[in-house]
Amino acid sequence: MNTTWVDSHCHLPSDLDEARVVVEAAAAAGVGPLITVGCDRPSSLTNLRLAATFDAVAATVGLHPHDAKQGLDTVTDLFDGVDGTVPIAVGECGLDFHYDRSPRPVQRDVFAAQIAIAHQRALPLVIHTREAWAETFDILDTEGVPASTVFHCFTGGPDEAGECVQRGAFVSFSGIVTFSGAPEVVEAAAVVPLDRVLVETDSPYLAPVPHRGRRNQPAWVVDVGHRVAAVRGVDVEEVRAATVANTHRAFPHLAICTKRS
C-alpha cells in the first residue's frame, strides 16, 4: 500500500539545517511533497530557496493579511521566481479581522490584487480567512474565483464549507479538526465532498492531537488525515489517496516543481 501523504500547507524553518531535519522527518513518516507557504518577502524568498534545495519541497509566494500593510510591491518580483525556481501558487492571502494587524481597507485591496495575479499568471490561490467570511466571498465573487482556489486551515462550519465548494474551491483541514473545541470544523470535515478535501499541518503552528503543545511539523499531517477519515467514517487509505490526488489537482505545477511526488 502506498503510504505517502502530502502536506498541502506548511511553513518550513528558514534555517537550512533545521529545514533539512523537518523534511527528512516528514519523508521518514511517509509525507511528501511539502508545500511551504509565503506570508511576506522574507518567507517567500526563503521558500523559493528551500524548494531549490530539497527535491520534495515546493513554494508559494504571497502577502498574508497581517502583512498587507507592507505593500504588495514587496513581493511582486518574486512571482517571477528566483534563480529558476518559481512559485506554484499565490498566497497565502486574504482577510483576517480577528487580529486586524493591517487596516481592513488595505487587507481588502491587497487580497484583490493577489487574486488578480493568480488570474494573470494562471496560478492557484491560497486563502487565509478569519472572522471575515462574508467579505472574503464578496471579494472573490467580484474579482472572479481563480480556477484553483484553496481555503487553507479551514475554521468555519458546514455553511461556510458549502460556500467554498459552491465556488469550486478546495477546503483544507489542519490539526484544528482534531481539537475537542472545534465541533463546527469537525462537522464541515464530515460533509465536504471528498474530492474537495485537502489536509495540511500549517506547521509550526496548530500541532494535532496527540502532539498538542509541541512545535508542529509536516510529518504529523498523517494524524490530520486519520482524524478526517474517522470523522467521515471511511478507511484512512481512502482519505490518503483522495487528498494526495486533490492536492495535485489543486496545485497543477506541484509534480513539475518537486522531483519526487
What is the percentage of the chain residues whose pLDDT exceeds 90?
A: 96
Task: For residue range 79-119, list pLDDT tens digits in order.
Answer: 999 999 999 999 999 999 999 999 999 999 999 999 999 99
Residue 33 has φ and ψ, to the nearest 5°, of -75, 175
Output the tens digit of pLDDT for each of the chain's 261 residues.
356 999 999 999 999 999 999 999 999 999 999 999 999 999 999 999 999 999 999 999 999 999 999 999 999 999 999 999 999 999 999 999 999 999 999 999 999 999 999 999 999 999 999 999 999 999 999 999 999 999 999 999 999 999 999 999 999 999 999 999 999 999 999 999 999 999 999 999 999 999 999 999 999 999 999 999 999 999 999 999 999 999 999 999 998 777 643
Tell me how far apart the alpha carbons of residues 125 and 171 are, in angstroms, rounded to a whole number.
12
Q: How many domains does one find in the chain? A: 1
Cα separation values, 165 from 44, 70, 88, 137, 196, Å: 28, 31, 22, 12, 7
- Look at residue 223 in the predicted model and tell me its pLDDT: 98
CATH classification at residue 248 = 3.20.20.140
The b/e string for 198-235 (b: 16+ C-beta within 10 A; e otherwise) is bbbbbbbebbbeebeeeebbbbbbbbbbbbbbbbbeee
Tell me the residue range of the domain where 243 lies. 5-257
- Look at residue 259 in the predicted model and tell me its pLDDT: 60
Residue 99 in grid coordinates: 487580529
